[in-house]
Structure 1
Amino acid sequence: MAKRCFDVLCAALGLLLLAPLLLLIAVWIKLDSPGPALFRQTRVGRFGRPFTIHKFRTMRVEPGAAITVGADPRITRSGQLLRASKLDELPQLWDVLRGAMSLVGPRPELPRYVELYPEALRERVLAVRPGITDPASLAFSHEAELLAAAADPEREYREVILPAKLRLSADYAASANLATDLRLILRTLGRVVHR
């Protein structure tokens, strides 16, 4: 209950204070390339329920791989900065406010990757709301570079990166509390400022 109250308070305050910045980013994206300012995608949330995640669009509207590898040519000029600064994640404050996500929790995956979860870990990870940040996000902040160096990026993600992220997410879900969430938020903010 305390976690949800904290999420609602921080998300509402964040959306209110950041409203001018969010509007400027949306206009910049629209001017930079054709398409919507927001990117929407179905992800798997708490208890395995699908939900729509919101991010600022950082790529051109065209078909492509589900994972982003290195300097993906689909990434727009505005998208490069938004990705590097993690500002593309800010619309997820709305997902937190509406109850689909938390500030801290396992990053929500695409349904096709959730199907690969071992049953025991699946139950632990999906028992909590997915989040904007978590230990796996911090550990794999250089994921696009790792995938770019792989001979088969999709296989590297499925067989190496996803299992490692899943273990970190399961460990978080088993011991999460408000104090650990605050530490992870501070670490995430520190990483963003450092970038």
Structure 2
Amino acid sequence: MFNYIMNKNRTLKRLLDILLSLAVIIFVLSWLLPLLVIIIKMESAGPGIFKQERSGRNNKPFWCYKFRSMRVNNSNAQAIKGDFRTTRMGAFMRRTSIDELPQFFNVLFGEMSIVGPRPHMLKHTEEYSLTVDQYMDRHFLRPGITGWAQVNGYRGEIRDHEQIIRRTEYDIWYIENWTITGDIRIIINTIVSVVKGDENAY
């Protein structure tokens, strides 16, 4: 019975992911993606879409997509407040989280979920796995565009070790207490946060 319920829940979560990602891709990205790519390329040389290898479910690497918000560079350092690499359009996209919208393609492809632990760069996964208890357990689920940690104030730059510990605690709590209604609440809270503005969005 337990396995049946778990499989049913996974199916419901995946169905929600497919329906919402298709809606965003068809009704928003179908016109916004080409428009933003043109604007991004006009402001600075380079591709309109940025891709970076991140750690996925079961720690399997995948290419995570974003609108490029920085000038092309060779640095893999995380973005910080006032980052000189960020373009003017990039700063706007990051404040409004528009830069994350291409990840709905990752969701449709089954590499991500709309809600789940945020995916980290491979080097950060390797680093945090050595110093944070249960860190690798957060890879039990598909990574998310948003998550329980993010709606509780832990998004963006990781400034100290305590922050990654707290984020991991929120991620593990989410995995252990997941429900469809919980996902819907997180999505709604994320939208509200984007509309109101998040001080950690930069």
Q: Distance in 2 between matches of 1:39 and 1:26?
A: 10
Which among 100, 105, 108 is matched to residue 97 of structure 1? 108
Residues 128-167 of structure 1: CA deviation (Å, up to 9, x unaligned): 10000002223124x44x74xxxxxxxx2xx222111111
Which among 19, 34, 37 is matched to residue 9 of structure 1? 19
Which among 72, 85, 96 is matched to residue 83 of structure 2? 72
Which letter does structure 2 place at the counterpart of 1:15?
I
Report the secondary structure of 1:61's partner residue: coil
Which letter does structure 1 place at the counterpart of 2:154?
F
Q: Is the 8 A contact 1:124 1:174 kept in 2?
A: no
Pairwise CA distance, 1:64: 2.6
Q: Distance in 2 between matches of 1:70 and 1:25?
A: 23
Which among 176, 180, 183 is matched to residue 182 of structure 2? 180
Report the secondary structure of 1:66's partner residue: coil
1:124 aligned onto 2:128: no
Pairwise CA distance, 1:93: 0.3
Q: Distance in 1 between matches of 2:167 and 2:56?
A: 16
Counterpart of 1:191 in structure 2 is: 193
Pairwise CA distance, 1:66: 1.7
Report the secondary structure of 1:55's partner residue: strand
Farther-moved stretch of structure 1 (93-102 vs 121-130): 121-130
Q: Distance in 2 between matches of 1:123 and 1:42?
A: 17
Which among 82, 86, 94 is matched to residue 97 of structure 2? 86
State TM-score, norm by structure 1.
0.88
Counterpart of 1:164 in structure 2 is: 166
Q: Distance in 1 between matches of 2:179 and 2:138?
A: 15
Which letter does structure 1 place at the counterpart of 2:53?
T
Q: Any unmatched runs of 5+ in structure 1?
A: 148-155
Q: Distance in 1 between matches of 2:49 and 2:144?
A: 18
Q: Is the 8 A contact 1:46 1:128 kept in 2?
A: yes
Pairwise CA distance, 1:117: 2.4
State TM-score, norm by structure 2.
0.85
Q: Is the 8 A contact 2:71 2:85 kept in 1?
A: yes
Q: Is the 8 A contact 1:43 1:110 kept in 2?
A: yes
Counterpart of 1:140 in structure 2 is: 154
Pairwise CA distance, 1:65: 4.7
Farther-moved stretch of structure 1 (121-130 vs 89-98): 121-130
Q: Any unmatched runs of 5+ in structure 2?
A: 1-10, 198-202
Segments ≥4 residues shifted beyond 3 Å: none
Q: CA RMSD in A?
A: 1.6
Residues 49-88 of structure 1: CA deviation (Å, up to 9, x unaligned): 0000000000000123521111000000110100000000
Counterpart of 1:45 in structure 2 is: 56
Q: Is the 8 A contact 2:69 2:93 kept in 1?
A: yes
1:28 aligned onto 2:39: yes
Q: Distance in 2 between matches of 1:67 and 1:123?
A: 20
Q: Is the 8 A contact 1:42 1:50 kept in 2?
A: yes
Q: Distance in 1 between matches of 2:24 and 2:100?
A: 12
Percent identity between the aligned chains?
33
